[in-house]
């Protein structure tokens, strides 16, 4: 039982750092080319006015960066983990809608043009599943006090 518990704790830690690094990397890549990210967002043809899209262009990379760093540091886990899952789910929904509308675009997830839609959808789906699993795991805040 003890080994299982230790193994689970380690897998949570590794996954937390991995997901956090992916988010941080995505943020840095977007911040290096904000105009490119804005262009990628425009290609999604979302029903959002340009002014709103520009705000999202500035907001999303920083949110990803903050969430990524918070995930790595295990800061406010009861809030950060569901927020990461929510953001991944939002990406999946937007990519699914774009695929359903038959848009031939590149995601722009990691700066530049990004991956084709199908690849991006698979990647976002995987991240979403991993984030879901991470939400289910008890964090240090949920850990019960040790018995002597």
Please report whether residue 9 would count as binding other proteins according to CB under 8 A: no
Please report whether residue 62 would count as binding other proteins according to CB under 8 A: yes
Q: How far is the CB of 112 from other proteins (least distance, A)?
A: 16
Please report whether residue 79 would count as binding other proteins according to CB under 8 A: yes
Q: Using CB atoms within 10 A of its CB, is residue 46 exposed (0-12), middle (13-18) or buried (19+)? A: middle
Please report whether residue 132 would count as binding other proteins according to CB under 8 A: yes
Nearest-CA neighbor of 5 among 94, 137, 105?
Answer: 137
Cα dihedral 68, 72, 73, 77, rounded to 10, equals 70
Q: How far is the CB of 101 from other proteins (least distance, A)?
A: 25
Q: How far is the CB of 102 from other proteins (least distance, A)?
A: 28
Distance CA 23, CA 121 (A): 16
Residue numbers at the binding site for other proteins (CB under 8 A): 31, 34-35, 38, 51, 54-55, 57-59, 61-63, 65-67, 70, 76, 78-83, 132, 135-136
């Amino acid at each position: 039982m003890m080994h299982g518990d230790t193994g689970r704790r380690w897998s949570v830690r590794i996954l937390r750092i991995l997901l956090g690094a992916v988010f941080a990397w995505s943020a840095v890549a977007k911040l290096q080319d904000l105009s490119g990210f804005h262009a990628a967002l425009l290609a999604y043809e979302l029903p959002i006015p340009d002014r709103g899209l520009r705000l999202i262009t500035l907001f999303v990379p920083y949110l990803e960066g903050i969430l990524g760093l918070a995930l790595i540091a295990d800061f406010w886990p009861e809030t950060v983990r569901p927020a990461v899952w929510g953001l991944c789910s939002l990406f999946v929904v937007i990519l699914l809608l774009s695929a359903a509308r038959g848009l031939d675009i590149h995601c722009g997830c990691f700066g530049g043009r990004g991956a084709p839609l199908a690849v991006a959808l698979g990647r976002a789906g995987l991240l979403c599943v991993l984030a879901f699993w991470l939400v289910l795991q008890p964090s240090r805040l949920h850990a019960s006090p040790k018995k002597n």
